[in-house]
Structure 1
Amino acid sequence: MTAHMKTPGFGRLNYAAVSPGALQAMMKLGEQARKSGLEDILLELLNLRASQLNGCGFCIDMHTKELRAAGVSEQKLYLLSVWRETALYSPRERAALAWTEALTRLGEGGVPDDVYDEVRAQFNDGELVDLTVAINVINGWNRLNIAFHAEAGHYRVGSLKPKSA
């Protein structure tokens, strides 16, 4: 089967097989976020929230499963889409979620100053850059998976994490 034909898990195109270099570049950028020192659960929460906003079923499936495996409560997962209405999220998580939403829904006005001020109060310069890169990465993955109809529902925890050298 050629890469441009339908393959299991990809409704339109298996982008990983068609362009392994692009896949490696995306993976490398994702590694930067994971090695940055930002909390794994924080990164997974922003991955899930951006995926909810973008409507990426594959990524919602993946990041929900990863958060459950990391011990995040069902309640915290269920309420993520309305995180402003609950006290379940720490000030740091709230700032990261607001930043995620602002960057994911980036419009003509850019990122509002109040959102920037909130995230600056919780993250140092390096963390803020790494957080921003992480949000860009998940938005990129969402766009690849949505464009090529990556199928949701089959993700296994840890199966797409890079192997340790």
Structure 2
Amino acid sequence: MKKRIDLASVASSAYKRIIALDSAVQNSGLNKTHLELIKIRASQINGCAYCLNLHTRDAIDQGESAQRIFLLNAWPETDLYSEEERTILAMTEEITLISNKGLSDKTYENAARLFDEEYIGLIIMAIITINAWNRVAISTNKPLD
């Protein structure tokens, strides 16, 4: 892939704000397993190799099993994920694929049954944040580390 612009240099003010948003999400109290599942699943949907490489390694470092990572793309077909995780994965897919009508009432109602409003807000912000990072990495051809 051809080298492209470095957004951190040429759009540093905006880039720093994405970093601040990411930091707020990271330090928000969102369960780390939930957060990594969101990051990996959104990155799978968006086809972001950079983020997949980064977040699968982070998940493994935090104790996530390789099997759950390998099967994440087929989560509805397995019983490896808890009800809470399944709801978060559904939210991730629906918000990431927003042009397909966005977050459905059914998925939101499941989330409201399982989580309080603050936690739902954190989930949504985490999904928004990784989608922003996916777009940064894909648009700029960010190389794998």
For residues 54-87 of structure 1, the C-alpha deviation after alignment (integer angstroms, 9 at most, x for no partner) is 0001000000100111111110110000011111
Choose which of 105, 109, 116 in structure 2 pairs with 1:117: 109
Name the counterpart of 2:52. 60
State the shift of 1:109 in Å: 2.7
Q: Superposition pairs for residues 4-153 of structure 1, below 5 Å?
A: 11-107=3-99, 109-152=101-144
State the structure with more CA Rg: 1
- The aligned amino acid for 2:133 is W
Q: Write the distance in 2 (CA, Å) between the matches of 1:83 and 1:35.
A: 26
- The aligned amino acid for 1:105 is L
- The aligned amino acid for 2:134 is N
Q: Write the distance in 2 (CA, Å) between the matches of 1:110 and 1:80.
A: 20
State the shift of 1:10 in Å: 7.9
Q: Measured at CA, do residues 84 and 108 of structure 1 come closer, stay the same or move farther in structure 2, by a change above 3 Å?
A: closer
Listed as ranges, the gaps of 5+ residues in structure 1 are 1-8, 155-165
For residues 105-127 of structure 1, the C-alpha deviation after alignment (integer angstroms, 9 at most, x for no partner) is 01253321111111212221011
Q: Write the distance in 2 (CA, Å) between the matches of 1:104 and 1:68.
A: 23
Q: How large is the RMSD of aligned CA atoms in angstroms? A: 1.5
SS at match of 2:30: coil
Q: What is the TM-score normalised by the length of structure 1?
A: 0.83
- The aligned amino acid for 1:118 is N
Q: What is the TM-score normalised by the length of structure 2?
A: 0.94
State the shift of 1:37 in Å: 1.0
Listed as ranges, the gaps of 5+ residues in structure 2 are none
- The aligned amino acid for 2:99 is G
State the shift of 1:101 in Å: 0.3
Q: Measured at CA, do residues 65 and 108 of structure 1 come closer, stay the same or move farther in structure 2, by a change above 3 Å?
A: closer
- The aligned amino acid for 1:137 is T
More helix as a share of residues: 2
